[in-house]
Each structure stands twice: as structure tokens, then as C-alpha cells.
Structure 1
């Protein structure tokens, strides 16, 4: 059975990929999980990743555009973005939190030390 490591948010590496966006990063062997916090009225410009991503809105709401198609996402709504697909977002009037998973793992993000908050087998 794999060992599990637990981490408090304060122990996780923080990234700021866009103005108004902070993410707390957790890496595993086959995926990266990021808890993103968006300030109100944040605009995430259109961009792409070399890995697939999917996620769920856990607080607030936002308009997301994936491959030119816009949808309004609210708490509990999920999305999937295939690798290499253009996407962006616009946050509405309240702080918003989205949990996203990237697979395979993102190699461009900070990684904790071997005894830090990383799942290992």
C-alpha cells in the first residue's frame, strides 16, 4: 500500500501564475493538484498547457472559455481541458476557489523536498 503524506495549506508551495491568482501545489507520481484562489474580477488570459487538466469550482463563480466555447461555472461545476487546448477565465464579483488536477504532473512548478507534502509509493 502506498505511503500517504499530509500537508497543511501553509506547508505547500505557492505559485502566482496570473495577476490575481494564487495556487497551492501538491505533486503526486502521476498528477499535480493545485488549489487556486482567484481575487474578484480577475481575468486569466488565454493560454495552453502541455498536459490535460480538469477541475471543480468549490467557491464562487467564473466564466471559463475552453476552445472558444464560454460557460458560466458555479460551485460544484466541473470542467476538463485536453492538453494543448486554449483556455482562459473571468472571475465575477466574489473571491473564487477552484481545485484543478493536471496529468501527467506539471514539471514547471516548484516541488517540495523528498520529505515534504508529496505522495510517494
Structure 2
């Protein structure tokens, strides 16, 4: 059974350059909300961008935010401040809902 209900799966897919990801994009004039699920383990290289807030729906993610490593699992919330360098590891089976304080973080997959 899919983690996301049909109304979420009917959203446009987000073009996110990571392997094993399916992501649905809810776009506004000021921000984006992404519903992501991963079928493979993924290593996230260090990067930074506008603020990001997420809630883990399934699985596990390790995040290193400004040099501090934390592990988040189902039900946990995380926040990455604007400009904070971060990296991590996403494990197969991970799903989350993420708010980006950036209206054009990702584009619709074509």
C-alpha cells in the first residue's frame, strides 16, 4: 500500500536529482511542500539553501546540520535553518513531508 493517498499522488512529480526517489510537489507563490519516498539508500552531499522543515512519516534519515549529526525516525520533525550546511543519509523505505521556504526549490518533472 502506498504511503501517500491518491490526492497527493495526483500532484505533479518533482524533479529531484536523487536515485530511488518519488516526490510529489505542492507549489505556492512563496514556498513548496514536497512529499518524498525513497526506494533506495541515498547519500546526500553537503549543501545549503533556504529554510527547510520536515516530518518523518516512515523510515530513517541521518542528518548532519552545521556539524551536528542526528537521526530522525517516524514521527520526528527536523528543521534546517536558511544557509545551514547539511548532508546525510536517507535509508530505503524513508518517506517524509518537507516544507521549503523557497518557491522554486524544485521544478516539475517533465
Same fold (TM over 0.5): yes
| Structure having the higher Rg | 1
TM-score between both structures, scaled by the size of structure 1? 0.73
Instruction: Name the structure where strand makes up a greater proportion of residues.
Output: 2
Count of aligned residue pairs for this structure pair? 103
TM-score between both structures, scaled by the size of structure 2? 0.79
Q: Aligned pair 1:18/2:18, yes or no? A: yes
> Where does 1:25-64 land on structure 2 (aligned, <5 Å)?
25-49=25-49, 51-64=50-63
> Where does 1:99-118 land on structure 2 (aligned, <5 Å)?
99-106=97-104, 108-110=106-108
| Residue 88 (structure 2) aligns with | 89
| Residue 4 (structure 2) aligns with | none
Segments of 4+ in structure 1 off by > 3 A?
Answer: none
The gaps in structure 1 that reach 5 residues or longer are 1-6, 112-121
Contact 1:57 1:77 in 2 (8 A): yes
Give the RMSD, CA atoms, in angstroms. Answer: 2.1
